Structure 1
Amino acid sequence: MAIRKQQEQFIHLVRLAWDLRMAGLSATVDLPRGGEPAVLIPGAEGPLKVMVSTQGADWFFTWGRGRDQRVRALDADAFRRVREVAR
């Protein structure tokens, strides 16, 4: 992955983690060596892992494979959708 794309990916994840924090949830940006970066949100059944990727020209937060398990990263309410899923 090109450096610029990785930087954009990181910025989206940090913004999501910050928005979740401001909404009262704990969130950690995980940057594993050799793996995909993600935001981890603690939960009773284990952490919810939210990743960010591009589809065409758009960035999406995803936490599964279904169409209902993603939200556009630049949507103003993206963190609210993720927060709903994390609860």
Structure 2
Amino acid sequence: MGAGAEQILWDVSTGSQARTALAPGGGWNVVQRGPERLWDRVERAVRHWQAVGEPRQEGFGITVSAARQRVWMGAEDGPGWDLPV
């Protein structure tokens, strides 16, 4: 959620938040709160995406079960990450 340059990521299951805002001298400031480091997860996801050649949206999938939610790239058993359940 957010408008303009400030964005807020919020995990309602843990209450964790990451807020981004433009820094006065350029770049970004990020503030994280709660038990999950949400912005760290964003950065890991971007690195995964870059490492596999920056696939288009059609290259992603998601598998959901009662025990797990997993985003993957290329194939279900390919590189990916778990989402909170």
Q: TM-score, normalised on structure 2?
A: 0.31
Compare the two structures and name the one with the higher helix fraction. Answer: 1
Q: TM-score, normalised on structure 1?
A: 0.31
Compare the two structures and name the one with the higher strand fraction. Answer: 2
Structure number with the bigger relative contact order (C-alpha 8 A, sep ≥ 6) is 1
